[in-house]
Each structure stands twice: as structure tokens, then as C-alpha cells.
Chain A
Amino acid sequence: MAVQTVATTSDSTVDLGPAAALSCRECGHRVPLGPVFACEECFGPLEIAYDFSAYDTEELRRRIEAGPASIWRYAPLLPVPADVAEKPNLNPGWTKLVKADNLARELGVTGGLYVKDDSGNPTHSFKDRVVAQALEAARAFGFTTLSCSSTGNLAGAVGAAAARAGFRSCVFIPHDLEQGKVVMAAVYGGELVGIEGNYDDVNRFCSELIGDPAGEGWGFVNVNLRPYYAEGSKTLAYEICEQLGWRLPDQIVIPIASGSQLTKIDKGLQELIKLGLVEDRPYKIFGAQAEGCSPVSTAFKAGHDVVRPQKPDTIAKSLAIGNPADGPYVLDVARRTGGAVEDVTDPEIVDAIRLLARTEGIFAETAGGVTVGVTRKLLEAGVLDPAKTTVVLNTGDGLKTLDAVAGTGLTATIRPTLDSFREAGLA
């Protein structure tokens, strides 16, 4: 396999818009923008530090509202150059916020229930949002190969983004993923490598590859480009608030895999408050896991600050990260906002997929079943307030995880006659 030789050193002159530096979330140590992800002082995660000081609130609001129907309407708040929308990329985002009145009636929600349906992205999951950020960072740092460790959705998003942008892609997945995700990742023509192990094994492999000459010059979207990549999830927060009429929801239910999405949605909401784009009022963030991979909800319920890794065993494979990198920060967010973290069983996930499909015509992948299932469980427990505006995330398309609802099929098979139709009790 040919190795690309490219510039990988930090460069303070790179143009990534308002991104000013990388800052350690743990100890605050700052380094210049570059393809690095862990703090050299304490191993903590590096995050983007921005300079938003020049923005006037109303001018920014007008600029966003006049922007493209994609995440790039929020380019002034992301680590991307100002002309990002003109570069070849998948232009993801601006997905539907569905007012789910039928589901609300079924669940007894009176304060307004919405589904943020990210199955509408180009590769049918929220991953297009994060990959789009990583792609711009990869361009800025001179990479020409995109890579990642993936539970499936990310593999497809990286493959498609690389194809559009003219990059090579080589991505790594657990060897036993759902067939739909394998096909949707492979079809874009990049290299797709199955690793004999679970996602945490794949992730470990990629982390080692990045420090080896064999991985030199590769932009791993969720490893050495992770600080940039993760910022893409902020756009979910921006869109939800803008689609609600520049208003914070009261409650948001978010799936947890690594926990990055949940923590970045919180970061996005905080930015909107600080920028004056939404009124500063309390909101609660709730995390959702599958019982078969529930390290964060286990820690939350036990009152722990430390997340003990688990060996995943669940049909919700896109959430099957047993050692979630941002788990401790999820606990911080849930506790700070007065939210919670809960989990549901595999049968409850399947029931929830069917419930959402039956009530709203939205076919969610297993991760969406997890959020809807947890929403139902938290409402029944009185933890979620039914009188509050609530947003539930569906992060992927059910066509990717058909096996989960494999028992669903024909109501009847009949001859092409009216008699047969009546005999089958369908009249």
C-alpha cells in the first residue's frame, strides 16, 4: 500500500476560519492548529479554540439565515475557511426537524416533541457533518488520504467525502458489521478493511497505525483530525435552535457512542447563548445507550465520575463503543444541565424503531431506536418532563440496519383476485 508523503507539521498560517488554536480540555495547554489530538502534557483531548470576538449578533444571524441550506450556513462558527461551500464536499446538514405530533400523543408529550432526522444526510447518517470538518482540516494540512476507525456509518461518510473531494480513502471496521453498512461503505470505491475484533480493537489499531511509518501522512478523521471532526456535531445544535425559531429546546435526547456528539451539541448551545443568538435559559441534555453497551449510563446511575469500559454486546452496533473517549464529559454535561443517561434493551430498541416508523413515517437505524426507546423510558419514569419542548435525535437511516427489524414483512400473500383479497380479511 503506497504511503503518501505530505506535510504534517503544525502551521500557524493555515486558514481554518475562526479557529485560532488547539486547547486541552483537561489542562488548558494550547498548541498551534495542526493534526494532533491528544495533549502532550496530560493526554487530554485537544479542542478548537475560536476567536468569535469580531461578530455582531444581528449581522451574524442575517449572514447565517442568508447562507446555504447546509452546515456551511454556520461556517463562521466552524474550523473551516470562509469559502468552504465552494470546495468539493458533500454539503451535508440542514436536515428536517420533524414535529412529531403522532409520537407525542403516543408518549403523552404535550410540550412539543420533535425528531431531528439526520437520516437525510448524503450518506444517511449524522457522520457527514463531522467528516466535512475533517475534510477541510485534511486539505489545510496537506493530507491526500482519508482514514478512520468506524462502526459503519463513518466508513460510508469518509468513503463518499473522499470520492467527492478526490482523496484516497482507506477505512477500518469490525469484520462483523451489518451487511448494509459494509456495502454502503464499500460502494464509494475506497479501501475498506475488516479487523478481527470489536470497534475498540479497531480504534486501538488505528491509534497505533498513526504513530507508525505505515500510517504517516494519513488523515484519520476521528484520530489525528478529531479536534476538527468533532466540531461538526455542533451544527446539530445550531440547526435545532434555528429551526425552532432561534430558541433553545428544553430537553434533548442524544445517543452516546464515544460521547463526542453529545458534548459538542452542548458546546454548540453554549456558543449560541454566548453569541446572543438564543435567549439564555436552562436546558437539559439526556444521553441514550443500549443496555448491551452502557458504560456511560452505568457510571451515571452509580454516581461515578470515571467510566469503566465494557465489552459491547448489542444490536445497536453504531453505538457499540465500550471505551468511550468522551464518556467523562457526557457525565459532566448530563449532571450540569440536570439531565440523565439511560439505557434500553435490544427488544426495546426494536420496539422503538417500529414505534417511530408507525407514528411518524421515519425509519431509524438502531441508534435512533435507542434514543426513542430511552425517551419513552425516561417519560415513564418521570425524568423527562412531558410538558417541555423535547428534541430526539435520529442519527441514521433504518435501511442500514435492516436485520434489526428482520421479522417485519408481508401482511399476506394473495392471488391477484378480489376474492382472494376478501378471503385474506383485507377488505
Chain B
Amino acid sequence: MSVTVRIPTILRTYTGGQAEVPAEGGTLGEVIADLEKNHTGIAARVLDDQGKLRRFVNVYVNDDDVRFEQGLDTATPDGAGISIIPAVAGG
């Protein structure tokens, strides 16, 4: 599955300044693994030592917060837009 991943400002050092990058994968976990292949170091910023999403990272597949779905096992359909966003905003 080909998807587009929106990269937050603080991770753009890993994508050469690009705000959006393409990636492959049928689940969010696979997409992050693919991102890591092309943008080394990015996975460790998004995932903790146990390989789970860090608690201050929000990830959306299209409009759905993956915490309401299946987390890293959330399906990423072909053409999906994925957004990685710092969670510490608002209030």
C-alpha cells in the first residue's frame, strides 16, 4: 500500500525538510518501518524503547486517531494520508 505521511516540523531534519513523504505498508507499524529505511533515525523519535508509540505522539490515519483504532496495527489503505502530530498542544 502506498501512503503519504505528513511530518511535523520537529522531525523534518530526518526528511530533508520535507513536510510530506511517501511510504509503503499495510499497517501503521509497517509504514513506520518503511519510513525508517528511507529516513534513518525517525522511528526512534516516534516509538519508545518497547517499540510502542510514544505517549506524546498522536498519529492519524486519514481522520482517525489510531488510539481509537488498533494502534500500530491500524490498517493503512492505499492512498491513505497519515499525520504524525505532537500531542502536547491545546488546552
Contacts and interface: CB of A to CB of B under 8 A. Distances in A.
- Greatest chain A CB density within 10 A among B7, B19, B67, B90 is at B90
Interface stretch (A91-99, A252-260, A282-290, A379-387): A252-260
A45 to B, nearest CB: 4
Nearest to A259: B91
Given A38-B10, A308-B67, A222 B56 contact: no
A324 interface: yes
B89 A149 contact: yes
A43 B90 contact: no
B90 A258 contact: yes
A173 B88 CA distance: 18
Contact of B67 (A40, A45, A223, A309): A309
Nearest to B6: A208
Nearest to B46: A43
A184 to B, nearest CB: 19
A42 B9 contact: no
Given A204-B60, A328-B55, A43 B88 contact: yes
* 7 closest cross-chain pairs (CB), A and B: A258-B91, A38-B86, A45-B88, A203-B90, A43-B56, A260-B91, A223-B89
Given A38-B10, A41-B45, A309-B67, A208 B88 contact: no
B76 to A, nearest CB: 18
Contacts of A203: 89-90
A37 interface: yes
Interface of A: 26, 36-46, 149, 199-201, 203-204, 206-208, 210-212, 220, 222-223, 226, 230, 257-261, 306, 308-309, 311, 321, 323-326, 328
15 contacts: A43-B86, A46-B88, A201-B63, A204-B58, A206-B89, A206-B90, A207-B86, A211-B19, A226-B88, A259-B91, A309-B67, A321-B91, A323-B87, A325-B91, A326-B91
Nearest to A45: B88
Nearest to B91: A258
Contact of A38 (B55, B68, B88): B88
- Greatest chain A CB density within 10 A among B56, B58, B65, B89 is at B89
Nearest to A202: B90
B25 interface: no
Contacts of A40: 10, 13, 45
B88 A37 contact: yes
Contacts of B67: 308-309, 323
B21 interface: no
Given A258-B90, A306-B55, 9 more contacts: A45-B88, A149-B89, A206-B90, A211-B7, A212-B19, A222-B91, A226-B88, A308-B67, A328-B55
